[in-house]
Amino acid sequence: MYSLMIPKGYKSVLTPRQTQLAIKKVKDFFERDLAVQLSLVRVSAPLFVNENSGLNDNLNGVERPVSFDVKDMGSDNMEIVHSLAKWKRAALKQYGFEPGEGLYTDMNAIRRDEDTDNIHSVFVDQWDWEKHIRKEDRTEETLKNNVRAIYRALRHTEKYIADDYAFAEKNFLPEQITFITTQELEDRWPDLSPKERENKIAREKKAVFIMKIGGALKSGQVHDGRAPDYDDWELNGDIVVYYPVLDIAFELSSMGIRVDEEALLRQLEISGHTERVNMPFHKALLKGELPYSIGGGIGQSRICMFFLHKAHIGEVQASVWPEEMVKECRENGIELL
């Protein structure tokens, strides 16, 4: 069952046609600035991968990928990607990127088991990026420096959009992003749920990077699920901003330093997925055949939603929604594309 929040008195400041023009402004500017801030080159990327390659993002391990057969591929099925988290690391090697160099791409995915609401859709569109780093650069400081680079691109985009649109705020995002770990959040608000903690810290700081997601906290809880075979759970996190239109913590990006051989084996053991070591991607990683890297995904529709003050992600992307949700949105001035 879907969930839906209707902001009191909400009315979009842009018509659907004006919204389409504004979406292009946001995406074009942010994409260019992101490439500059992180020294990235744009590449082409797949919509689907072989189910036996180990390249698809397994998310929390329970989501079902959309799969189909291909006439010329025998018994192997193809899977629509959930994200390109692992594919990008293999691409760094294929394209010959050196340490300090990286790639980004448009990633379109289908997540059929997503619980749809104001900010979650079956259709996912991201800028997926990946950068080659040296093993000795697998540090918290490397992670923070890349977070700051992405945050600069967000701040630059905010100023650019505010110069063009009177409704946009120029300095809503604070000058600096705050860093905090999931354990620090639990220590501060032990009686709250992980999502409630995120809402609290986002309202307080306006922009935060929540670090160390995937492993168990002192309470035994997991703040949020992460696949065991791409991010190192000790060196990852989410960029979260406060979103006043919905009064929530709003995740714009998930990212992290990728697992090395040791972290991969440890996290597969913890998650109960040691069988994955036999997949081509995992074999290559354990043999040292893939570069060490840092990377992540940045939501295209979410960034547009944030900067254009939309109440529903369906106002900035074309997807499918339950008919009851479409009707309820229409009755409350929310026009889904």
Active-site amino acid positions = 57, 111, 126, 238, 251, 254
Reduced DSSP (H G I as helix, E B as strand, rest coil) percent helix, strand, coil of the chain, to 5: 35, 20, 40
Q: Listing from the earlier edge strand, what are the strands of the sheet with 48-50?
A: 48-50, 77-80, 67-69
Residue type (1 letter), 269: E
Contact between residue 214 and residue 238 where contact means Cβ atoms under 8 Å apart? no
Q: CA 213 → CA 32, 52, 225, 292, 319, distances in Å? A: 29, 27, 7, 19, 29
> Helix 140-164 vs helix 300-307: angle between axes, to the nearest 10 degrees?
50
Contact between residue 152 and residue 160 where contact means Cβ atoms under 8 Å apart? no
**Spatial separation of the C-alpha atoms in residues 111 and 333, rounded to whole Å:** 27
